[in-house]
Structure 1
């Protein structure tokens, strides 16, 4: 049970933590869950709180039944000139989301476009509903993705498909996203969020330090050459050998019982 209380900042709904899982839901239906700067600030504040809460072991990030998020807040964007865009805090907010050390499971139904697609790509695992569509249509506004849409997307789906999505502004379906490696699973729309929670609870039931260092090692595979990544993996493996949870895991396996993790 968490000793912390989680507020619901404007444009967000928060549930939990329950069974180690905190749910953050985008809730600006009149704006198709457009990602305003205050909304991003709210997400960052919640994740910063969750990072220090031992009762939160995994986060589920979701949106509406018809729209996950249709992109940035264009009304906000229209008021900014080049200098204002250069100095805005949005890059730092997205970077802060990317630094969250605990696993994030995204649950997407409907449109995840522009900034919405970029936001959900910060999740470690994405479960897509059958209705999900992913796209980076910024080219239609005379701009390009600015929060990872040219970088994270290319890492996820490869050059050719990323080029089609970014240059032509075409969307891909949930099944296409699955085939390309952008999402981990496709579920019926009415089962998408439940499946995300099921997976999050499973992750939350694992040894917390092992989960954190496993996430770190996998993410570093995108940032470092293979040899350096192997060194990092081995370092994390050795560090875990000195934890109480590693000893408990081995004992529990040998004694044919369920391990009791302490996070130490």
Structure 2
């Protein structure tokens, strides 16, 4: 699938999806959104970890401006990009965004939808939408605030300020920074740690993390109740006790 707008590599425990329009700095167009929806359908049916990255030296420099310019009010109401990014955020297993170069506009909003974000020192991430006469309507106005806090999110969204890698790490927008040739190895190392855990426990942890504050602690108890009855919990805990020599 090297020529596809979304180049996908499938492994038993993970999928690596590469935004693949390097000649356009991986600008996100409608066809790429359709490909993301198709990938989400696959991962909803067969949950696996998803690693998102970009071809070339950028994650995604934004949405495709030519297509955006042609969109009208009815397109805004359809939430073309927003609905795709919501679906990515709600995938059963974690999503890791490996960010290099530009992650701007729609590219930033796609990154915000991930559970874990890592980057290279070349990262520039932010939302310049108001300079183009629109708002960041595919998740930035609520997700960015949840990630970095209202003050910094307001500054970024109202001024178009983009953060570099060190600023993004200090703000908690990315969790670690790696050299470009080490970025994917770092993403796979994170995926390896997730894959070593019980998949159902990971899925339930993600469900609890996404749940509203008013649902806790009830939802935690419900999810834990299911896990307490699972054979995998018994197997893993018995194995731990045997390994540590405990009764």
Indicate the TM-score class for this superposition, using the shorter chain for normalisation: over 0.9
Deviating beyond 4 angstroms after TM superposition, the runs of 4 or more aligned structure 1 residues are none
**Distance in structure 1 (CA, Å) of the matches to 2:77 and 2:40:** 25
1:219 aligns with 2:206: no
**Distance in structure 2 (CA, Å) of the matches to 1:8 and 1:250:** 43
1:122 aligns with 2:116: no
- Matched with 2:43 is 50
- Matched with 2:34 is 41
**Distance in structure 2 (CA, Å) of the matches to 1:87 and 1:235:** 34
Secondary structure class of the residue paired with 2:103: strand
* 8 A Cα contact 2:88 2:114, kept in partner: no
Unaligned runs of 5+ in 2: none
Unaligned runs of 5+ in 1: 1-6, 258-264
**Distance in structure 1 (CA, Å) of the matches to 2:79 and 2:156:** 26
The TM-score, its normalising length taken from structure 2, stands at 0.93
**Distance in structure 2 (CA, Å) of the matches to 1:179 and 1:219:** 23
**Distance in structure 1 (CA, Å) of the matches to 2:86 and 2:71:** 21
* 8 A Cα contact 2:82 2:139, kept in partner: no
**Distance in structure 1 (CA, Å) of the matches to 2:243 and 2:3:** 45
Relative to structure 1, the CA distance from residue 51 to residue 145 in structure 2 (aligned partners, 3 Å threshold; closer, same or farther) is same
How many residues align? The count is 244
* 8 A Cα contact 1:21 1:201, kept in partner: no
The TM-score, its normalising length taken from structure 1, stands at 0.87
1:89 aligns with 2:76: no
Relative to structure 1, the CA distance from residue 216 to residue 118 in structure 2 (aligned partners, 3 Å threshold; closer, same or farther) is same
Cα RMSD of the aligned pairs, angstroms, is: 1.7
1:61 aligns with 2:55: no
